[in-house]
Amino acid sequence: MRGVPVVVGYALRESLRRRVFLVVLVLTAAFVALYWLGAQKAFEAVDESEPPPAAALAGIDTRTLTGATLFGLSMFGTLFLGVVLAAFLTLSVVRGDAERGLLQPLVVRPIGRAALLVGRFLAAAAVCTVYVLAVYGANLAITWSTGSWRPDRIVEPALELTAAVAVIAALSLLGSVVLSATANGIAVFMVFGAGLVAGLLGQIGEVLESDTLRDVAEVTSWVLPFEALYQDGLNAITADTSGFTEFALQLGPFGGAQPGGPFLWPWTVAYLLLVGVAALAAFARKDL
């Protein structure tokens, strides 16, 4: 594993030179600016207009409702952008690079295949972690400064988004061993989309009290824990919110998220290890 830092350095330099970071920076600035504008206008509307009479009567706190919904949206945006970054940093690491002849000169060096894969994962995970935390932090600051609202939990959702993106990076690396770059990219985004849809079905299931839908969501959360992490993070931002405000939130697109339970983190770690072992085993046997 002596070679891991060399591979990490190589991967980071590759991103820097290929202007990946520049593109990400510019477009993320646009995303954050858009969020700022949205938050500004939304909280302005909350301040200026009277709450609907029914809401006032039920004691619904419109500021919390607005803040939590906006911040849930920003978390979805952060997750999505983090996933895009993770996928593109990893989707052609093995087969894609091998098909282009980029990989062979590297893997015949004594550092070995395992170090190459581990180094690639660590580089992608490090970049995505910094990215997710930065975007999350920016959105948090915007929500606080424009609406004086902050989520009930701050650290937990941030870590969970980071872990969700790391799970995607690991899946994408595993995919890159067997699939060509294009196929792997499609697969990663479809898996991501399927996970989100399953999560939404689960939320609908909660409201409708449908066991089947809840089961589908439950199984999906185990198979694709990035979804469970994201849901748990969403759930945590209104962890201390109760009463009719909580009920109103649950009807919104980001409010019905389910807590992950005590096994979420252990399972996430185990899952990353399992995916890693599968990727290493497949890579070790692969003809290049």
Least distance between other proteins and beta carbon 94 (Å): 12
Q: Compute the distance between CA of residue 50 and CA of residue 55 in angstroms, rounded to an integer.
A: 10
Least distance between other proteins and beta carbon 178 (Å): 16
Question: In this structure, are residues 188 and 224 in contact, taking their beta carbons and an 8 Å threshold?
Answer: no
Q: Does residue 287 interact with other proteins by CB under 8 A?
A: yes
Which span (33-41, 107-115, 226-234, 250-258) binds other proteins, by CB under 8 A?
A: 107-115
Least distance between other proteins and beta carbon 211 (Å): 47
Q: Encoding tokens for residue 44?
A: 């302005």
Q: Does residue 111 interact with other proteins by CB under 8 A?
A: yes
Q: Which is nearer to other proteins, 107 or 173 (CB)?
A: 107
Q: Which is nearer to other proteins, 14 or 240 (CB)?
A: 14
Q: Encoding tokens for residue 45?
A: 């509307």
Q: Compute the distance between CA of residue 162 and CA of residue 158 in angstroms, rounded to an integer.
A: 6
Burial 82-114 (b: 16+ CB within 10 A, else e): bbbbbbbbbbbbbbbbbeeeebeeebeeebebb
Question: In this structure, are residues 143 and 71 in contact, taking their beta carbons and an 8 Å threshold?
Answer: yes
Q: Encoding tokens for residue 133?
A: 């935390």
One character per residue 14-33, x = contact with other proteins (rule: CB under 8 A): x--xx---------------
Indicate which single residue of 39, 86, 107, 198 sits in contact with other proteins (rule: CB under 8 A): 107
Nearest to 241 by CA among 67, 110, 83: 67
Q: Compute the distance between CA of residue 60 and CA of residue 248 in angstroms, rounded to an integer.
A: 8
Q: Compute the distance between CA of residue 278 and CA of residue 287 in angstroms, rounded to an integer.
A: 16
Q: Compute the distance between CA of residue 125 and CA of residue 87 in angstroms, rounded to an integer.
A: 11
Nearest to 276 by CA among 189, 195, 171: 171
Which span (108-116, 121-129, 140-148, 248-256) binds other proteins, by CB under 8 A?
A: 108-116
Q: Does residue 6 interact with other proteins by CB under 8 A?
A: yes
Indicate which single residue of 3, 72, 82, 260 sits in contact with other proteins (rule: CB under 8 A): 3
Which span (95-103, 121-129, 132-140, 272-280) binds other proteins, by CB under 8 A?
A: 95-103
Least distance between other proteins and beta carbon 117 (Å): 14
Q: Does residue 112 interact with other proteins by CB under 8 A?
A: yes
Indicate which single residue of 58, 106, 194, 197 sits in contact with other proteins (rule: CB under 8 A): 106
Least distance between other proteins and beta carbon 16 (Å): 9
Which span (10-18, 28-36, 122-130, 229-237) binds other proteins, by CB under 8 A?
A: 10-18
Q: Does residue 266 interact with other proteins by CB under 8 A?
A: no
Q: Compute the distance between CA of residue 123 and CA of residue 89 in angstroms, rounded to an integer.
A: 9
CB atoms within 10 A of CB 63: 16
Indicate which single residue of 57, 109, 186, 247 sits in contact with other proteins (rule: CB under 8 A): 109
Q: Which residues bind other proteins (CB under 8 A)?
A: 2-3, 6, 10, 14, 17-18, 100-102, 104-112, 285, 287-288
